[in-house]
């Protein structure tokens, strides 16, 4: 069961007029996984997610989500996957509780509305009109509506855009709770720290294709990249890039006769790797 | 994205009754939310109901005398026109504007992402139109009756005409409103886009201007659309029988009313089914 795929997409293609949004995108996702899509604006993240959610038609390629083609799947399939949309301003005259209960009634086996409201941290606002909620509170309501049907797979499209740092941390806990009970989560985000904090695996999209995929710590062969060892010498800060940082540190220890002042050993950050990936791709395109 | 209106609830139910039950629950849920949202927008409720009353008060004060040689006050005739105009506004105009708004703010997209049977959305709209039209019509009749002595339908048969004209008229105008909601490029332009055809129809259908002062050509042209027949239906329900002589066909033609309204109901249904989009313009 561990290797069961909830998303299998091969060669997804999509153009808007003369603009190519997706250019043969391949993506797969295992059950229970938290997968984050990273990529610059216009890379094709939202198009990919909307094709997999069933909102958009692809021009070419194959897609199976929870075993069905999202273009043809019906209501029973929609009940198994939850969608948290980027922004919604409707039903502002309902209270939070009324709204969540309303959406619960469309699903064959929904969660308890009060319990879902609790999970997204809106219990104190359950009786308030949606009109009176802050932006962050509305996003949490969006999440509640996305998970009320107890989905096996949840799509989160840039869920924390516009959040303050505290709200983001709270939101991360909500996603971790989902993952803990075995829900598969597909998350698109602009924030690398968010992907690093939440995702089991990230997929970097650029120019409509996946250019790299892997666990955040290993992306772009990050762990085998040369490490930068820095220390404070008698004439100021010194540093050296090496494939064997342990040996260098031992050597330094000998040279200093003990503790090395100001020692740091760093590998490229996720951001370094990410910027390298999308920059490299851009260069390759220009050369063609 | 073009979707057909009716996507059956396909949760591979063990029994057909489960599917029917789920459909019923979804329809009731939509109706409840639609009606709740309407009544909670207090300003909208007040102004929607006040508009035809204010118009009747204005027209009745401008034309405060009886129609010469009849003993029937002008307000009686104006009430028939305002009933037709009021029903058209609450169904056609309100739906076109509301749906365009929900399409733009993502409400429709979110509903389309749930397992809600798509038909339930339209059933919910039908419920809110039924409630608002009933209130609008009742308020106008009661206000006209007590403030300006407007006579109520004089027989059971006339009440029946009143009811079916209201129901059929509201249904066909609602479907046309749903169809029109796909036309405006944004929710801001929905009201002007819907208002122009409605106002034109109101003026050539005898809602504000007595149809007897329109040219037969223009009034005949209005006969291609449902509003004129709704107005004629309310005249058949509320005016003394001898008023039939001034009609174009010299009688109140209930068959023609039913046929034209039913025809537009079918046109509206087909147009809506073909053009209805659950996502905003530019989303493909």
Same domain, A226 and A215: no
* Averaged pLDDT for residues B191-197: 92
User: Mind listing the pLDDT tens digit for each residue in B124-167?
Assistant: 999 999 999 999 999 999 999 999 989 999 999 999 999 999 99
**Per-residue pLDDT, A202:** 94
Chain B nearest C-alpha distance from A73 (Å): 9
Same domain, A144 and A40: yes
For A263, other C-beta atoms within 10 Å of its C-beta total 14
**Per-residue pLDDT, A87:** 62
Q: Cβ B11–A93 below 8 Å, yes or no? A: no
Same domain, A33 and A111: yes
Residues 6+ apart with CB under 8 A from A160: A139, A167, A168, A171, A189, A191, A194
User: What stretches in chain A show pLDDT beneath 50?
Assistant: 1-2, 284-288
Predicted-complex ipTM score: 0.83
Distance of CA A100 to the CA centre of its chain: 24
B115 touching A (Cβ < 8 Å): yes
Q: Cβ B284–A56 below 8 Å, yes or no? A: yes
Give which of B224, B208, B216 is closest to B267, Cα–Cα.
B224
Among A164, A192, A220, which residue terminates a domain?
A220
Q: How far apart are the two ends of chain A, measured CA to CA in Å?
A: 43
User: Mind listing the pLDDT tens digit for each residue in B38-52?
Assistant: 999 888 899 989 988
A74 touching B (Cβ < 8 Å): yes
User: Mind listing the pLDDT tens digit for each residue in B74-109?
Assistant: 899 999 999 999 999 999 999 999 999 999 888 999
Among A220, A240, A264, which residue terminates a domain?
A220
**Per-residue pLDDT, A224:** 81
**Per-residue pLDDT, B138:** 95
Chain B positions touching A83 (Cβ under 8 A) are: 110, 113
**Per-residue pLDDT, B11:** 47
Chain A nearest C-alpha distance from B101 (Å): 9
Rounded CA separation B106/B284 (Å): 14
Chain A nearest C-alpha distance from B52 (Å): 25
Same domain, A144 and A57: yes
Q: Cβ A105–B113 below 8 Å, yes or no? A: no
Same domain, A215 and A234: no
Identify the residue among B3, B6, B9, B11 best suited for mutation to test binding to A, counting A beta carbons within 10 A and taking the highest.
B11
Same domain, A246 and A178: no
Q: What is the DSSP letter of A257?
A: T
pLDDT at B283 over 80: no
User: Mind listing the pLDDT tens digit for each residue in A70-110?
Assistant: 999 888 999 999 998 866 677 889 999 999 999 999 999 99
Is residue B7 within 8 Å of residue B118, measured between CB atoms?
yes
A68 touching B (Cβ < 8 Å): no
Same domain, A125 and A236: no
User: Mind listing the pLDDT tens digit for each residue in B207-264?
Assistant: 888 888 888 889 889 999 999 999 999 999 999 988 888 888 888 999 999 999 999 9
Same domain, A144 and A280: no
Q: Cβ A91–B33 below 8 Å, yes or no? A: yes
Among A220, A240, A270, which residue terminates a domain?
A220
**Per-residue pLDDT, B169:** 95
Same domain, A55 and A189: yes
Is residue A32 within 8 Å of residue A85, measured between CB atoms?
no
pLDDT at B284 over 60: no
Same domain, A208 and A228: no
**Per-residue pLDDT, B208:** 85
A157 touching B (Cβ < 8 Å): no
- Expressed as residue numbers, the domain containing A231 is 221-287
Same domain, A169 and A94: yes
């Amino acid at each position: 069961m561990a290797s069961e795929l909830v998303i299998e997409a091969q060669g997804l293609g999509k153009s808007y007029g003369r603009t190519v949004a997706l250019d043969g995108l391949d993506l797969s996702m295992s059950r229970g996984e938290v997968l984050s899509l990273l990529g610059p604006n216009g890379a094709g993240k939202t198009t990919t997610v909307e094709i997999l959610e069933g909102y958009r038609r692809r021009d070419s390629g194959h897609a199976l989500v929870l075993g069905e083609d999202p273009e043809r799947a019906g209501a029973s399939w929609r009940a198994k996957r939850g969608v948290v949309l980027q922004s919604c301003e409707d039903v502002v005259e309902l209270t939070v509780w009324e709204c969540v209960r309303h959406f619960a009634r469309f699903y064959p086996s929904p969660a308890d509305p009060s319990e879902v409201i609790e999970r997204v941290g809106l219990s104190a606002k359950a009786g308030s009109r949606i009109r009176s909620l802050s932006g962050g509170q509305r996003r949490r309501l969006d999440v509640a509506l996305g998970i009320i049907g107890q989905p096996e797979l949840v799509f989160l499209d840039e869920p924390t855009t516009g959040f303050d740092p505290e709200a983001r941390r709270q939101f991360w806990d909500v996603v971790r709770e989902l993952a803990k009970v075995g829900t598969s989560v597909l998350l698109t985000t602009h924030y690398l720290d968010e992907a690093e904090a939440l995702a089991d695996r990230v997929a970097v999209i650029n120019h409509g294709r996946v250019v790299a995929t892997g666990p955040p710590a290993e992306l772009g062969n990050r762990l085998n990249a040369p490490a930068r060892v820095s220390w404070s010498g008698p004439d100021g800060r010194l540093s050296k890039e090496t494939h064997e940082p342990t040996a260098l540190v031992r050597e330094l220890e000998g040279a200093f006769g003990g503790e090395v002042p100001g020692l740091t050993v760093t590998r490229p950050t996720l951001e370094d790797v990410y910027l390298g990936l999308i920059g490299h791709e851009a260069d390759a395109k220009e050369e063609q | 994205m073009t979707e057909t209106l009716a996507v059956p609830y396909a949760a591979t139910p063990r029994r057909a009754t489960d599917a029917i039950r789920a459909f019923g629950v979804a329809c009731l849920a939509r109706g409840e939310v639609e009606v709740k949202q309407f009544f909670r927008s207090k300003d909208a409720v007040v102004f929607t109901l006040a508009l035809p009353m204010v118009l009747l008060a204005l027209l009745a004060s401008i034309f405060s005398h009886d129609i010469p040689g009849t003993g029937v006050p002008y307000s009686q005739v104006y009430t028939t026109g305002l009933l037709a105009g009021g029903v058209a506004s609450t169904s056609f105009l309100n739906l076109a504007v509301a749906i365009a708004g929900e399409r733009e703010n993502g409400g429709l997209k979110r509903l389309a992402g749930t397992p809600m049977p798509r038909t339930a959305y339209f059933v919910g709209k039908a419920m809110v139109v039924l409630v608002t039209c009933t209130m609008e019509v009742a308020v106008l009749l009661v206000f006209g009756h007590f403030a300006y002595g407007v006579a109520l339908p004089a027989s059971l048969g006339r009440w029946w005409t009143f009811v079916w004209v209201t129901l059929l008229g509201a249904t066909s105008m609602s479907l046309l409103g749903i169809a029109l909601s796909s036309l405006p490029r944004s929710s801001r332009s929905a009201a002007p886009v819907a208002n122009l055809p409605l106002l034109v129809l109101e003026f050539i259908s005898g809602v504000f201007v007595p149809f007897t002062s329109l040219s037969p050509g223009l009034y005949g042209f209005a006969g291609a659309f449902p509003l004129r027949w709704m107005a004629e239906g309310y005249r058949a329900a509320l005016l003394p029988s001898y008023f039939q002589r001034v009609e174009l066909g010299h009688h109140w033609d209930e068959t023609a009313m039913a046929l034209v309204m039913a025809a537009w109901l079918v046109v509206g249904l087909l147009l809506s089914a073909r053009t209805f989009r659950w996502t905003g313009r530019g989303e493909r």
